[in-house]
Structure formats: C-alpha cells, structure tokens
DNA sequence: CCCTTCTGTCTCTTTTAAAAGACATTTAGC
DNA sequence: GCTAAATGTCTTTTAAAAGAGACAGAAGGG
C-alpha cells in the first residue's frame, strides 16, 4: 500500500529537516515554512517536500494541521528501554528473563580469521553461530549474533537458546566468565536486521560487540548486538569525585532500566513492511518464546 | 566526477552484502558470486550489482580482481580513536588538548521546552548555543552541539571555545560540576553533520547526549555529540567480581585511548564531497585551530 | 463573512535511475 | 597458448522518481 524506500531527494530533505529539528536549530513547537515555501527554499518540487514531511510525521516529529501549517512536535518520546552502562551485563541477564526471544538461526560454521583471533581460538576450531532477536512487550529491540566455540556450544541445546540467556547457559556448564571487552558503535541496518527489528533498511542502529573470556584467557563468547536506538540505549549517571587538580568522573550506580514511557507513537507507526520483491532474502524460522524456569 | 547519493536498489544491495559480510555470514576472504550471478540471484541488473560492489570496494570491504573475481577483504580496520567508557570524560578533556577544534557556529537562543526541562532552567532563560567539530590529525570525528545557560556562557569568549574544552572553561569560571547524565545511542547523519564529519548523508553516527549539573542541581551544560563510528567508539573492559550467586561485572579501568592503527584505508577513501546542488545549506564559518596553553 | 493561506489530492510531463545487452580486458587453469 | 570465466566499459531501452500545476477543503484573521 506504500512504497518501501523513500527516494533520494525526499530522503535528503527529510534528513535535513530532521537534523534541524533534533539539533534545536528549529525552535520547538514552531511552525515550519509552508510546503510551497520549503519547496522553493530547497529547490525541489512540492511533492518531494511532501514526501519528506510525511516521513517526519510518521516519526512523530512534526504535526500537520490542514489550513494552519506544519508544527514541530515537541516531546520527542524518550527511550522505552534503557540499559545502565555501568553494569549493563546484569541488566541484560535480568532482561533476558523478562523479555521474549526469537531464535532466527542456529548452525556450526568455520571460524573466520578475525573471529579466531578475537576469541583466541585454536587453529581449525569450529564455532556455533546463532542469531536471536530480543523482544520486549512483543516488540523487537535487539538483534544478537553470537559465536561460541563448538566444544562449549554443545553443552546446551538449540531450544535452550530460545529461553535462557547465553551467559547463564555458559556458566551452568561450568565455565567461569572472567573478563570481557565491549565496544559500542553505530551502524546501518541491512535487510535482514531491518526486517527482524522492524525498521527501515537504511536505519541507524546502536551496535555493541563483546568478547567474553574465561580465566585461562580463552574466549568463550563473541557477541555482536544491534539495537534499535529508539527502543534501547545506554545510560550512565556520573558523579564527580576528587578535588580540583585530580577531578574525575565515576559511574554512579544509577538504578537503571527505566522502562517508563508508554505513549510512544510507535503503535501508530505504520508497521507496513516494505516489499522489495526482487531482492531475495533467506527465509528464517521463527521461534517465539517466553521465559520460565527458576 | 561522481554521483552523490547512490540510488535505491544499489543501496539496498550494498546494505545486504555489507550485512552478510559484517555478520560473518559470508566467509572471510571468500570469493563472492560473480557479478552476473549476483545480478540474477537478487533479480537486479548487473549495473546495479556493480554500483553496490563499487561502494563496498570504496569502504574497503571487498577487493576486486579483474578476470579473477571479487573477494571479501578480511581485516576490517579497527577504530583509530577509542574512548574508554569508564571515564570517558577525562579522556575527552585530554583529547581536547590533543586535537583540533573548529567552531562552526556560536549564538544565543531561546531555550526550547525540552532543553529548559533537561537543564532545569528558570523560565525565559536564554542559552548560548555553539557547534564545534573535533579533529584528530586533521580529520573530523565528532560534531558537538552544546547549550549553556547564558549567565554562564558569558564568562568565556567565542575564541575560548575554539581552543579550550568547555568543561575546563566552566570550571575556570568557578563552577563545580557535580553530576552528569549520559545517554548513548545512534542516529543518521543529516546534511550539515555529514558535511562537517566528511561522511555520506545517510551514514550511521554514534550519538551521546550529556547533561552536566552543579551541586545545586541546576544544569550547566547540555551536550549533544555525534561521532563517526569508524573513527571513534566507546570501549570498556569488564571484569567479573563476586562469586556465583552474586556475580557482577565491574568496569576494569582499561587504560583507554587506543590510538593505534594507521593503515586504515581512509586515506585512500575518496574525499569527494557530493554535490546536491538544489538543497541549500547554511554557510558556516570555519575556525581551524590547534591547541596551546599550559 | 469573506479572503488569504495552508494542507490534501489529483493529473501530466520531464528527468533520472535501472535494465538489457554487446564487447573489450584480465586472470586462472588445462 | 588456448579457453573459460571473471571484471571493466560502453550503448540503448524501459521503468520509476521528481517536477509542475490545478483544484478542493480546512483554519485563521480582518
């Protein structure tokens, strides 16, 4: 019922206006220039302006009143799910219990050179590769690609993965996580991730990659997580300790997981999945599931 | 000499292949299907496949050998600049001394409702608004939008902003930062930010917004930072402390700021700025500058 | 109340991207 | 050295996005 990917000029104007609104360059709650004005100002046709505004409106960033004008929607809904950075891990474990998980794929593969190095694998060692999607209130917010050495991966079943956090599975089988590295960055959503997270194809995602090591120094888990930034973000509260000269910020253990905010306009957001018929995509089995277990 | 924004289908295929490579779905160093094969597989023409591959190649993700095939470029260059998350602040201060800063804009504006609330401003209070770009080795990596209450902002000059970190300026004028909130997310690059950071218009950016409070509880700084994820990312090392039952991750103060890796293919990356002639953009004064001062 | 201005919704034309195919050039293998 | 198959580079045709304009309906101000 609607085209999938907005065309170039419209997208450009959309990003421009979005930038101006988010950066505070355009006053909050102010009226935007009229559509013909915007069209002339940016040297595009009104249809294009309209497409850009349509998208802003579907993002909930603007409100359009026929006969009156187009207005910046103040609020900017906050993040529904927020992870505390200081100990994101424990929260993730807790969250694993409160959220649903879909197992997208599960297989054993050869380690790529990069992965083998990061996990400090023995040469030729294989990896268990699984892809999961985490849901909260039935809505996906994270896409997890995990690689675990085969010798470790065999200690739990495919079904376990769909119900229990991986770290817990690992520790149940006697392994002791000792150290971990995390890198937080950003990337663009590809078609698979986009479909799984219900976002558009070029959307921005928060990415976290993590490698967990046991005491011996060998890697036991490699995780590449992709988050919808509108549903999940990292949150820290910092306190300044020490006096002038040696001042420094320390992470105040803010009781995180602010899970408020229910009026996000996401419900209203068209869940129309786009078509892109020619570009094929692998089929994927779906394993909806909700937790249980002590 | 080259078109600015890659067309839709090409972009889609680009994102698809990129996803498959980054997720490890396509084996490292493996040969991709031939261009005609990819064209048929995805139901697009070879020109489109070609455009997608062109972009992957310019990202350094693939290598094309005429007569032989197209191969996945293993390495995936690491981040040149990495910030330690545990005390990203002090590092930022240090970095402020080692890097260049460009002042993009400087003005006084009315506070938007959202900003007024976040900073806990008195009604009607105005804000000093400044936009800066941080460079390392002459290359931009962060775009900073700061809002400071006017009464505080007048204590330093426009030129100060181009040479000294803001937090230092604030503390020089007698203010004492006490607490801060940070939120880390991701967003898409708009035209202005894209131009300033030398990325494409729809690129993914790492975003951090921070509010700093003094002891009285009043906000003294609001920062919205946008980072190029290929040049800057957050890095943490975690250690697991406590025994089974009450296990928990604590941030091991990894001596961060890993500034290694010089062979990033970025030098070779075409710095061709795209044209987009009709879409206007505000002009911006540039204040190149390198540090000094004790 | 009327007039102006704004958004909403069409139609038609122009421009640009994508498709289809031909052909040259390079490499690897037999 | 020949052949098969790959990338590189064209040209022509077709499909899709963007442009241009007309017109209806809603809101606000004199």
> In the structure, what pLDDT confidence band is assigned to residue B50 with cuts at 50, 70 and 90?
very high
Give the pLDDT confidence score for residue B19 in this predicted structure.
Answer: 93
For residues B161 and B247, membership in a common domain is answered with: yes
Q: A211-215, A290-294, B25-29: which range is least confident on average? A: A290-294
CA distance A133 to A156: 18
Q: What is the CATH number of the domain that holds B35?
A: 1.10.10.10
A35, A53 contact by CB (below 8 A): yes
User: Are B61 and B174 in the same domain?
Assistant: no
Shared domain check, B180 and B248: yes
A266 in any annotated domain: no
Structural domain of B175? 81-252
User: How much is the average pLDDT of B42-63?
Assistant: 91
Separation in Å, CA of B274 to nearest CA in chain A = 12
Task: Mention every residue, 6+ apart, whose C-beta is less than 8 A from residue B66.
Answer: none
Q: Is B54 in the same domain as B93?
A: no
CB A50 within 8 A of CB A35: yes
Q: What is the DSSP string of A16-41?
A: HHHHHHHTT-SPTTPBPPPHHHHHHH
Does residue A263 fall inside a structural domain? no
State how far the Cα of A231 lies from the Cα of A234, in Å rounded to an integer: 11
State the average pLDDT for chain B. Answer: 77
**A31 and A152 share one domain:** no
Q: Give the CATH number for residue A195.
A: 3.40.1410.10
Distance A203 CA to C17 C1' (A): 22
Which residue's CA lies closest to nucleotide C28 at its C1' atom? B68
Per-position DSSP letters for A221-265, written without gaps between them: EEEEEEE-TTTEEEEEEEEEES-TTS-EEEEE------------T
In a domain, residue A117? The reply is yes
Say yes or no: B99 and B219 in one domain.
Answer: yes
Are A242 and A101 members of one domain?
A: yes
Among residues A72, A89, A119, which one ends one of the domains? A72
Q: How far is the CA of B51 from the C1' of C22 (A)?
A: 19
**Binary contact (A279, B180; C-beta < 8 A):** no
Same domain, B58 and B114: no
Position B199 scores a pLDDT of: 93
Instruction: Say yes or no: B67 and B119 in one domain.
Output: no
Condensed to tens digits (0 to 9), the pLDDT of residues A129-181 reads 999 999 887 889 999 999 999 988 888 888 888 887 888 888 888 888 888 88
**B198-240, pLDDT tens digit by residue?**
999 999 999 999 999 998 888 999 999 999 999 888 888 888 7
A155 and A35 in a common domain: no
| pLDDT tens sequence across A218-269 | 899 999 999 999 988 888 888 877 666 666 677 665 433 333 333 333 333 3
SS3 of residue B125 by DSSP: coil
Total tally of structural domains belonging to chain A = 2
Whether residues A142 and A214 share a domain: the answer is: yes
In chain A, which residues from 21 to 80 place their CB closer than 7 Å to nucleic acid strand C? 32, 34-37, 46-47, 50, 53, 64-70
Q: Is the CB of A293 under 7 A from strand D?
A: no
Closest nt by CA–C1' to B39: C19
Task: Determine, yes or no, domain membership for A284.
Answer: no
Q: Would residue B134 count as lying in a domain?
A: yes
pLDDT in tens, A69-121: 899 986 656 556 666 654 554 555 555 556 788 999 999 998 888 888 889 88
The alpha helices in A122-165, defined as continuous H runs, are 150-153, 158-161
Chain pair A-B, CB pairs under 8 angstroms: 281
Tokens (6 digits) for A160: 């376990």
Range from A148-152, A168-172, B140-144, B181-185 carrying the lowest mean pLDDT: A168-172
Test A113 with B29 for CB contact under 8 angstroms: yes
Higher pLDDT pick, A158 / B288:
A158
Last residue of a domain, one of A72, A90, A123: A72
Establish whether the CB of B68 is closer than 7 Å to any nucleic acid atom in strand C.
yes
Residues B65 and B162 placed together within one structural domain of the fold: no
In a domain, residue B63? The reply is yes
> What is the model's pLDDT at position B24?
84
User: How would DSSP label each residue in B55-96?
Assistant: HHHHTTSEEEETTTEEEE-------SEEEESTTHHHHHHHHH
In a domain, A210, yes or no: yes
Least confident window among A119-123, B29-33, B253-257:
B253-257
CB atoms within 10 A of CB B200: 14
Considering only CB atoms, B193 lies closest to which of A19, A186, A244, namely A19
């Amino acid at each position: 019922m609607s085209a999938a990917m907005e065309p170039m000029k419209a997208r450009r104007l959309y990003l421009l206006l979005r930038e101006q609104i988010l950066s505070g360059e355009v006053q909050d709650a102010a009226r935007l220039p009229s559509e013909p004005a915007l069209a002339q100002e940016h040297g595009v046709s009104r249809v294009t302006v309209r497409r850009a505004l349509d998208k802003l409106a579907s993002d909930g960033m603007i409100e359009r009143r026929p006969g009156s004008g187009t207005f910046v929607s103040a609020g900017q809904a906050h993040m529904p799910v927020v992870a505390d950075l200081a100990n994101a891990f424990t929260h993730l474990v807790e969250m694993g219990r409160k959220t649903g998980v879909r197992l997208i794929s599960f297989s054993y593969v050869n380690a790529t050179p990069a992965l083998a190095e990061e996990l400090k694998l023995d040469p030729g060692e294989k990896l268990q590769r699984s892809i999961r999607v985490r849901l909260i209130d039935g809505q996906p917010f994270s896409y997890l690609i995990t690689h675990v050495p085969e010798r470790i991966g065999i200690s739990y079943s495919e079904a376990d993965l769909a119900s229990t956090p991986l770290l817990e599975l690992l520790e149940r089988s006697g392994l002791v996580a000792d150290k971990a590295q995390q890198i937080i960055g950003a990337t663009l959503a590809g078609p698979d991730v986009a479909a799984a997270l219900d976002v558009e194809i070029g959307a921005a995602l928060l990415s976290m990659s993590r490698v967990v090591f046991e005491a011996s120094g060998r890697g036991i888990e490699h995780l590449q997580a992709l988050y919808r930034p509108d549903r999940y973000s990292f949150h820290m509260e910092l306190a300044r300790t020490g006096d002038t000269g040696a001042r420094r910020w320390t992470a105040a253990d803010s009781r995180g997981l602010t899970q408020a905010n229910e009026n996000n306009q996401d419900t209203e957001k068209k869940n129309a999945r786009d078509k892109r018929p020619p570009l094929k995509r692998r089929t994927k089995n779906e394993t909806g599931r909700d937790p249980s277990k002590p």
